[in-house]
């Protein structure tokens, strides 16, 4: 089955700087890659997703890139703000319709 690795597990960046989180996946048949943000005690919320026919997608300060050959994808957050502090999960979905999550990255935005 699919296996998703996510790095780093913890990331601290100065407010206003950029944050990058990287993930790799194992199943070459996976073709949907969402990113979720989870605040303490709350449900995960989709922040951006990318499908395998696209290499890059951007939504304001958030962008995701996908390299299918290397089987890795990344989340980029620019001009970070205090409200960006949360846990971020990457995920991959393939032939069996399941969405498998990475272990998460705890992002701290420093004042």
Interface residue list for another protein (CB under 8 A) = 31-32, 34, 42-46, 49, 51, 89, 91, 93-104, 106
| Least gap, CB of 88 to another protein (angstroms) | 11
Smallest distance from the beta carbon of 79 to another protein, in angstroms?
A: 25
CB 44 within 8 A of CB 38: yes
Q: Which is nearer to another protein, 49 or 78 (CB)?
A: 49
Distance from C-alpha of 48 to C-alpha of 33, rounded to nearest angstrom = 9
Residue 46: which of 82, 99, 1 has the closest Cα? 99
Indicate the residue among 83 and 97 with the shorter CB distance to another protein. Answer: 97
Residues shown for the chain: 111
Judge if the upstream peptide bond of residue 100 is cis by omega within 30 degrees of 0: no
CB of 108 to another protein, least distance (A): 14
Beta-bridge mates of residue 105? 88
Choose between 52 and 74: whose C-beta lies nearer to another protein.
Answer: 52
């Amino acid at each position: 089955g699919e296996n998703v690795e996510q790095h780093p597990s913890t990331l601290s960046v100065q407010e206003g700087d950029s944050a990058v989180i990287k993930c790799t996946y194992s199943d070459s048949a996976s073709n949907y890659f969402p990113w979720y943000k989870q605040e303490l005690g709350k449900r995960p919320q989709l922040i951006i997703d990318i499908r395998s026919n696209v290499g890059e997608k951007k939504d304001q300060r958030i962008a995701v890139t996908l390299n299918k050959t290397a089987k890795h994808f990344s989340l980029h957050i620019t001009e970070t703000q205090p409200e960006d502090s949360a846990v971020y999960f990457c995920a991959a979905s393939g032939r069996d319709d399941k969405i498998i999550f990475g272990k998460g990255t705890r992002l701290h935005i420093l004042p």
